[in-house]
């Protein structure tokens, strides 16, 4: 079989990207899926639909959810999926599903950014490609781990890292360990919220340890990036446009 030339490969990548982008645009703007993604009410309904699908899958529900999470974060923030995982499966199983789904989804985006959407991925780095490339080969794991801990926009890093010289193994494990603290805290919070709603009897219930502890953890997770930057002696980053928190 004749190998693809550089020009043909570039053309193929452009075609793959156009088909992918066109499919996503069609689903978002010309089908009912758009309402499920683009509005707060729709996202709440989406979580409910995911719950029904996962429960219908029976013992394969966690695996089915991980697949949904992996594909979902190719273009959506991870927060709704973290909430869904914890609300459906509880704190422990939900946390495991969320960590695995986030890592696999981020890894798939990385592969797409490296081999099919490289120009698009470069644009997401907003001129920081050279700086990241200089650190990527020798310090890939620590670089990705740090950017995950300080909440560098999830989707931006997923695709953007693919345009750098970061090795896939460094990226995978840096993402796995770097996203874990925030995902564990978020999953614990949403899992606790489910239990609180189920057992709530009056305002006094809101001041129990089982309520205050997850709320405190959630607040701590918001402060964690600033704490890490202060330890490293770094200034707060400039805001990145069009990014959603994880």
Structural domain boundaries enclosing 162: 32-232
14 within domain boundaries: no
Per-residue pLDDT of 12-46, as tens digits, reads 556 665 666 677 666 656 666 666 656 666 666 66
Q: Kindly give, in sequence order, each residue whose CB lies less than 8 Å from that of residue 136, ignoring residues fewer than 6 positions away.
A: 143, 164, 165, 166
175 within domain boundaries: yes
139 within domain boundaries: yes
pLDDT at 246 over 50: no
SS3 for 151? coil
- The answer to whether 64 and 57 have CB atoms below 8 angstroms apart is yes
4 within domain boundaries: no
* Angstrom distance (rounded) from CA 208 to CA 119: 51
16 within domain boundaries: no
Q: Which long-range contacts (C-beta less than 8 Å, at least 24 apart) are formed by 37-42?
A: 37/76
Q: What's the mean per-residue pLDDT of the chain?
A: 74
- Measured in Å, how far apart are the chain's first and last C-alpha atoms? 43
Q: Which long-range contacts (C-beta less than 8 Å, at least 24 apart) are formed by 57-65?
A: 61/88, 61/89, 62/89, 62/93, 62/96, 62/97, 65/89, 65/97, 65/101
pLDDT score at 63: 92
The share of the chain scoring above pLDDT 70, in percent, equals 55
2 within domain boundaries: no
Domains contained in the chain, number = 1
Per-residue pLDDT of 177-209, as tens digits, reads 999 988 988 888 888 877 776 666 666 666 777
Q: Where does the pLDDT of residue 66 fall: very low under 50, low under 70, confident under 90, or very high at 90 and above?
A: very high
Pull the structure tokens for residue 159.
């695709």
Q: Where does the pLDDT of residue 113 fall: very low under 50, low under 70, confident under 90, or very high at 90 and above?
A: confident
pTM: 0.67
Of residues 235 and 204, the one with the higher pLDDT is 204
pLDDT at 3 over 60: no
184 within domain boundaries: yes
SS3 for 58? helix
123 within domain boundaries: yes
pLDDT at 115 over 90: no
Per-residue pLDDT of 120-168, as tens digits, reads 666 666 555 556 666 676 778 888 888 888 777 778 888 888 888 888 9
* Angstrom distance (rounded) from CA 127 to CA 17: 22
């Amino acid at each position: 079989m004749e190998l693809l030339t550089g020009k043909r490969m570039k053309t193929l990548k452009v075609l793959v990207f156009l088909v992918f982008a066109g499919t996503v645009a069609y689903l978002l703007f010309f089908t009912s899926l758009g309402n499920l993604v683009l509005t707060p009410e729709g996202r709440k309904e989406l979580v409910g639909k995911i719950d029904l699908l996962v429960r219908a899958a029976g013992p394969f529900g966690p695996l089915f959810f991980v697949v949904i999470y992996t594909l979902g974060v190719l273009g959506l923030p991870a927060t709704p999926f973290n909430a869904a995982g914890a609300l459906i499966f509880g704190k422990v199983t939900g946390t495991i599903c969320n960590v695995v789904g986030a890592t696999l989804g981020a890894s798939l985006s990385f592969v797409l950014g490296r081999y099919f959407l490289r120009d698009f991925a470069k644009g997401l780095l907003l001129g920081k490609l050279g700086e990241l490339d200089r650190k990527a080969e020798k310090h890939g794991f620590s670089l990705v781990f740090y950017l995950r801990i300080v909440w560098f926009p999830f989707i931006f890093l997923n695709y953007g890292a693919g345009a750098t010289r970061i090795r896939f193994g460094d990226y995978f494990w840096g993402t796995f360990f770097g996203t874990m603290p925030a995902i564990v805290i978020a999953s614990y919070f949403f899992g606790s919220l489910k239990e609180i709603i189920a057992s709530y009897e009056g305002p006094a219930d809101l001041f129990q340890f089982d309520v205050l502890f997850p709320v405190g953890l959630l607040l701590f997770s918001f402060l964690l990036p600033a704490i890490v930057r202060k330890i490293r002696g770094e200034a707060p980053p400039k805001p990145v446009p069009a990014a959603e928190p994880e």
